[in-house]
Amino acid sequence: MSTIEDKNQDSSKKQVEIDEATNVKLLGGHEFDGIRELDNRLPPFLKYLFYASIVFSAAYLMLVFVFEHDSVIQEKEYRNEMMAAMHQEEPTPSDGTETAAPVQRTQEDMLASGAETYGKICSVCHGKFGEGLVGPNFTDEYWIHGGSREDMHAVIVNGVIEKGMISYKNQLTETQIQDVITYIQSLKGTNPPNQKAPEGEKYVPQQQEEKQPQS
């Protein structure tokens, strides 16, 4: 049974413990295999850095959890930037649902992107102006595989290997494919020189919209 005197003796013994080699006070409370810790002073710069980090963290936590300031909430920051980019004044939904605004692309953007893809890849076979060369003419109303966007999409994705058109599924993104289709559609009726003779069936857009099979 330990008495109060015993405890006092213990603590007073710890207080006076001084390391013999360095003459520095030893920390009490823990020891491992006879290894003790010296009660060294921290260098002042480190101490103040530590205090500063405590002050900073308190301020930061306030900002995040109390004020929910725009500059520290990523989601808000993102939404603000998107909204600024779109010049829209939509109220931010407060329930936290992520409403990623679709990127607005104009017809010009699509045509420009489509023209770029076309000039780089397709013009070699379909002609600089879509007049047709190895591949068919894009400026007339006649299509071998159908003139709807879906038909063109299928040709671009699957290719027509036996006729020399490879699949562009791995070279082009879906957006690039859609854009190049938009570009090809814009060529209709442009009547460039040296046109290749019409091939395939005449395509009338309304027919396709009613989902009638082409004869």
Residues at the site binding ligand HEC, with contacts judged by CB under 6 A: 117, 121-122, 124-126, 134-136, 143-145, 152, 155-156, 160, 163-165, 168, 180, 199-200
Closest approach of Cβ 126 to ligand HEC, in Å?
6
Burial state string for 155-178 with b = 16 or more CB within 10 A and e = fewer than 16: bbeeeeeeeebeebeeebeeebbb
d(CA 127, CA 114): 15
71-93 burial code (b ≥16 CB/10 A, e <16)? eeeeeeeebeeeeeeeeeeeeee
Nearer to ligand HEC, 79 or 113 (CB): 113
Please identify, using beta-carbon distances, which residue of 80 and 207 lies nearer to ligand HEC. 207
Closest contact distance (angstroms) between CB of 107 and ligand HEC is: 18
Instruction: Please report how close the Cβ of residue 173 comes to ligand HEC at its closest, in angstroms.
Output: 12
- Please state the closest distance from residue 88 (CB atom) to ligand HEC, in A: 34
With tokens 């005449």, the residue in question is 202
